[in-house]
Amino acid sequence: MSRPTSGPLALPTLGDLDWVPATSRPELLAPSVAAALARWAERDPRVAEQVAVVEIDPDLADTATLNAAHDLPPAASANCVLVAGRRGGDERIAAAVVRATTRADVNTRVRSLLDVRKASFLPMDRAVAESGMEHGGITPIGLPDGWRVLLDAAVATDGEPALIGSGLRRSKLLLPGALLALLPGIELVEGLGVPVG
């Protein structure tokens, strides 16, 4: 598996894909993602040099398919799922970001964090319409204000890069997990991802 090259501000790479700085290719990002990334880069210069993007075949956007096509390690991918629950008349929405080798603990951890009786995945049509992102490309960067963004703490500490969506099916973002943990508004959650099976 490819690792970030030497130096504190090296662009990460992974597999056989041609990664470039994400801030240099805003057309490969959903509009809300491009705007959020630009704002983040203004506050943190590491973003411009450590967040990479690559154009892919949109038919390969799903994690397992992309990994198989480009020999990418499943442990590098971080999936973002949208979850909703209600408390009284108040709907609460959160994004949960976990490694692809785990699943988000929606019924226990997310439900508790949202303080709702029941939490469930946001229906895909709503997820796409309200996030402004495409199915298969939903990412924690650039989500609507008011949505909580929960990141499994393991993504920040396991030393692997984080391969995430770009808001579009035709591209992917790659950045150090520790940098993703510094995304404005993100909440680190221990045990958010639980083993699959």
Q: What's the CATH code of the domain at 155?
A: 3.90.960.10
pLDDT per position as a tens digit, 110-164: 999 999 999 999 999 999 999 999 999 999 999 999 999 999 999 999 888 999 9
pLDDT per position as a tens digit, 12-45: 899 999 999 999 999 999 999 999 999 999 999 9
Q: Specify if 32 maps to a domain.
A: yes
- Are the beta carbons of 149 and 119 closer than 8 angstroms? no
Domains held by the chain: number: 1
Q: Specify if 6 maps to a domain.
A: no
CA angle 65, 148, 37 (to 5 degrees): 65
Q: Specify if 41 maps to a domain.
A: yes
Q: Specify if 3 maps to a domain.
A: no
Q: Specify if 44 maps to a domain.
A: yes
Name the residue range of residue 165's domain: 20-184
